[in-house]
Amino acid sequence: MAKESGLGWTTCSVDDSAGSLRALVNDVTGVSFAIPRAVQDVTGLDKSAIERLLLLADFSVTIDGVFNDGSNASHDVFKTVASADVTRTVTLVISGQTLSNECLLTDYPLTRASTGELTYSVPGVLQSGTDPTWA
Is 106 among the domain residues? yes
Is 6 among the domain residues? no
Q: What is the per-residue DSSP string for 1-67?
A: -----S-S--EEEEE-TTS-EEE-TTTEEEEEEE--EEEEE---TT-SS--EEEEEE--EEEEEEE-
One-letter amino acid for residue 112 of the chain: R
Is 112 among the domain residues? yes
pLDDT at residue 2 in the model: 82
Q: Identify the domain containing residue 88 by its residue range.
A: 11-126
Is 3 among the domain residues? no
Is 20 among the domain residues? yes
Is the separation of the CB atoms in 94 and 9 below 8 Å? Answer: yes
One-letter amino acid for residue 71 of the chain: S
- What are the mean pLDDT values of the chain's consecutive 10-residue runs (135 residues total)? 84 96 96 97 97 97 97 96 95 94 98 97 95 93
pLDDT at residue 7 in the model: 87
Is 48 among the domain residues? yes
For 120, which DSSP code? E
pLDDT at residue 9 in the model: 87
pLDDT at residue 68 in the model: 97
Domains identified in the chain, total number: 1
